Amino acid sequence: MVKVDIFPISVMLNVSNICHKILELYSSVYDRGIVLSPEQFYSIFFDLPPTQTVLLAVKQNTSDIVGLCCLTIESSVLYCGNKRCLLTELIVSPAYRHMGIGSELLVSAQSFAKKKSCIVLRAIVGRRLTPEEETITTTFFTVWRFRQINGHHVFEQKL
């Protein structure tokens, strides 16, 4: 098992190096690559509103970013105005999968959501999955006691 530290992106110091490493991570996961300019990519991750954060999984004793998750806090009419946390990205580098990094990111996301007084953590899978990816994703969230909503790629857990 690889040891990682989880940090909010806001505490990272070397911004240009981090941006480059995040681009590498995305490119390793998404076959179509990123079609944003470096400036657009930078603004997405470093000019976040206070309701959003990105947590980075950094391999211990290195500066290697091996995973990340993106979180958004919002009030929800569905939950009577209470806050929920949306997990819109949970990415682990293919070379580091099945080593517990996704689980560590999820635990950090749960902790973040609880600190922000959210009553629900909702994970949204926003891309088309292969049958294998669908099985892995559904199993992962089921193990963590999320319930799948309406058979879609949306999973939710009460906090």
pTM over 0.85: no
The answer to whether residue 13 scores a pLDDT higher than 60 is no
The 10s digit of each residue's pLDDT in 37-93 is: 666 666 676 677 888 899 999 999 988 889 999 999 998 777 777 899 999 989 899
Q: In what order do the strands lie in the sheet with 83-92?
A: 4-8, 52-59, 65-75, 83-92, 118-124, 154-158, 147-148
In the predicted model, what is the mean pLDDT of residues 18-47? 66
The answer to whether residue 99 scores a pLDDT higher than 70 is yes
- Overall domain count for the chain: 1
CATH number at residue 86: 3.40.630.30
8 Å CB contact between 92 and 6: no
How many CB atoms within 10 Å of residue 30?
A: 11
- What domain range includes position 68? 4-158
The answer to whether residue 122 scores a pLDDT higher than 70 is yes
The answer to whether residue 6 scores a pLDDT higher than 60 is yes
